[in-house]
Amino acid sequence: MQEQEAPAFTEESDIAVTVNGHHYERRVPVRLLLSDFLRHELHLTGTHIGCEHGVCGCFTVLLIGDAVRSCLMLAVQAESMAITTIEGMAGTNSDLHPIQQAFMEKHGLQCGFCTPGIIMSVHAMLHDKPDPTDEEIRHELSGNICRCTGYQNIVEAVKLAAERLRVSQSEMEMD
Amino acid sequence: MKPPRFQYAAPRLLDEALTLLDQYREDVKILAGGQSLVPLLNMRLAGPSYIVDINHISELQYIEPEDGYLAIGATVRQRQVERSALVQEQLPMLVEAVQHIGHMQIRNRGTVVGSIAHADPAAELPALLTCLNGEVLVQSANSERVIKAEEFFTGYLSTALEAGEMLTEVRFPWIPPQAGWAFMEFARRSGDYALVGAAAVLTPALDDRCMVAHIAYLGIAGAPVRAHAVEDVLVGTMLDDATLDSAAEIARTVVSEDMSDVHATTEYRRVLTAELTRRVLKAAWERRQP
């Protein structure tokens, strides 16, 4: 094999990421988790930390549109990627996203700790499956644990959100 | 719950990664999807001094049909396989197995090759690879070798990989067009680790008797288990109830003695294994194309 000049190992790295449409550049320790980067460096504390090993789901964010666990990624791995967190869901006038609105109306939350992660998962799910069945909703949300609601109202909220998003989508297509 | 300190490098070429692995041998870990390694770091169950992130190595990003098998490179995510029209059409069993892995958030990051390299005995893909009698391609700075699944998985989270080596490709053999297949598992909750799982491929002969049988299990021993003893009673039969009964009976004995844990006793796993054997064989046989 040809001798290679391998890249050097580092303990810190410069990263540039886009979060909720804003561009950020920071120098971070390589061991910093993406979840801690969002919360401590960018002060976006809407992304919650539960178990910190990928089980509870409340740290779910969108990475280039796909739902991922921000506590199972290093911040340095998000280099030059676009991330959406719960703070990026509401519109510019703080009007709620249709998914958030549906969760409010259907009482899809009680303490609300798990809600940011669930909203992000629902956002990704409805992108893939705009008209999910109850069973599909429960299956797709099985990676998000809620200890208050018993999930019933969460399923109701997702169905309402799906319906409204479908309507607004077809209105957009007619325009 | 934060990772301990480590040194990090993210090479863009496979050769660079192999050079780093060669230099730091025992004290280096490869980071691909991170869905097993990062929790282990967070819980401080793993503490490598060096981490080589392979996500930027574009030459490992491929799903390639080859003569005899489907080749998947080391940076292909499980979700990509799930969404691949090629895999859906030509190896749907792999899609079904992948859909049993964790949750969609996990599959969006987790890689196929990473799951094989991690070798969790309760994981789906090691069991599938064992069932299909697949192979892995292992490379190091100076050499490469191909290892059969049954020789690759050596025990709990243990493989035949040696220091300085990297698993770069997994090879899932094609399933014959007339064969029926099924992948099933018992988990307490959707997305949880399964207590027991089974993968089966049954190929009928022209007289519609079973000509070749493959069955492998997850969660019943320290490594995935291909149950040749179960396969032997199936060959030559038409999978009648009596055959399924004796297959289920033999399957009970394949469960390792020391499988009692907080989730299930060994005896309960034996009961599950027997029932799952019956169901997975039945489902596979019904899917055959005589």
Rounded to an integer, the average pLDDT of A152-175 is 91
Asked if the C-beta of A43 comes within 8 angstroms of chain B's C-beta atoms, the answer is: no
* CATH number assigned to the domain comprising residue A120: 1.10.150.120
Hey, what amino acid is at B201?
Answer: V
What is residue B13's predicted lDDT score, i.e. its pLDDT?
Answer: 97
What is residue A7's predicted lDDT score, i.e. its pLDDT?
Answer: 77
Asked if the C-beta of B21 comes within 8 angstroms of chain A's C-beta atoms, the answer is: no
What is residue B172's predicted lDDT score, i.e. its pLDDT?
Answer: 98
Same domain, A109 and A165: yes
Residue A7 lies in a domain: no
Question: What residue ranges define each of the domains in chain B, with the CATH number in brackets?
Answer: 7-53 (3.30.43.10), 61-172 (3.30.465.10), 180-286 (3.30.390.50)
User: Comparing C-alpha atoms, which of B227, B220, B174 is closest to residue B200?
Assistant: B227
Task: Report d(CA A167, CA A130) in Å as an integer.
Answer: 11
Asked if the C-beta of B53 comes within 8 angstroms of chain A's C-beta atoms, the answer is: yes
User: Comparing C-alpha atoms, which of A5, A139, A153 is closest to residue B9?
Assistant: A5
Task: Report d(CA B251, CA B124) in Å as an integer.
Answer: 18
Interface test with B, best of A72, A127, A146 (most B CBs within 10 A): A72
Q: Residue holding tokens 């009596």?
A: B242
Furthest CA-CA distance within chain A: 63
Among A88, A118, A142, residue at a domain's last position: A88
Contact between B184 and B94 (Cβ < 8 Å): no
> What average pLDDT does the structure give for chain A?
93
Residue A3 has pLDDT above 90, yes or no: no
CB contact under 8 A, B42 and A60: no
* CATH number assigned to the domain comprising residue A37: 3.10.20.30
List all residues of chain A from 102 to 121 with a beta carbon under 8 Å from chain B: 121
Task: Report d(CA B34, CA B75) in Å as an integer.
Answer: 11
Residue A157 lies in a domain: yes
Domain of A133, in residue numbers? 98-170
**How close, in Å, is residue B75 to chain A by CA atoms?**
14
Residue A5 lies in a domain: no
Q: How would residue A6 be classed by pLDDT, with cut points 50, 70 and 90?
A: low
Between helix A115-128 and helix A98-105 the angle, nearest 10°, is 120
The two structure tokens encoding residue A167: 């309507």
Contact between B55 and A76 (Cβ < 8 Å): no
Residue A175 lies in a domain: no
Task: Report d(CA A139, CA A40) in Å as an integer.
Answer: 32
Task: Report d(CA A114, CA A154) in Å as an integer.
Answer: 11
Contact between B221 and B234 (Cβ < 8 Å): no
Same domain, A24 and A77: yes
Task: Report d(CA B62, CA A147) in Å as an integer.
Answer: 40
Q: How would residue A92 be classed by pLDDT, with cut points 50, 70 and 90?
A: confident
Task: Report d(CA A120, CA A58) in Å as an integer.
Answer: 9
CB contact under 8 A, B23 and A6: yes
Same domain, A82 and A102: no
For every one of its 290 residues, what pLDDT tens digit does chain B have, with 9 covering 90 and above?
799 999 999 999 999 999 999 999 889 999 999 999 999 999 999 999 999 999 999 999 999 999 999 999 999 999 999 999 999 999 999 999 999 999 999 999 999 999 999 999 999 999 999 999 999 999 999 999 999 999 999 999 999 999 999 999 999 999 999 999 999 999 988 878 899 999 999 999 999 999 999 999 999 999 999 999 999 999 999 999 999 999 999 999 999 999 999 999 999 999 999 999 999 999 999 999 97
Strand partners, A66: A63
DSSP states of B93-148 as a string? HHHHHHHTSS-HHHHTT-BHHHHHHHT-TT-HHHHHHHHTT-EEEEE-SS-EEEEE
Residue A3 lies in a domain: no
Hey, how many other C-beta atoms are within 10 angstroms of the C-beta on B142?
Answer: 9
CB contact under 8 A, A53 and B53: no
Domain count, chain A: 2
Q: How far is CA A35 from CA A62, A71, B104, B220, in A?
A: 12, 5, 18, 35
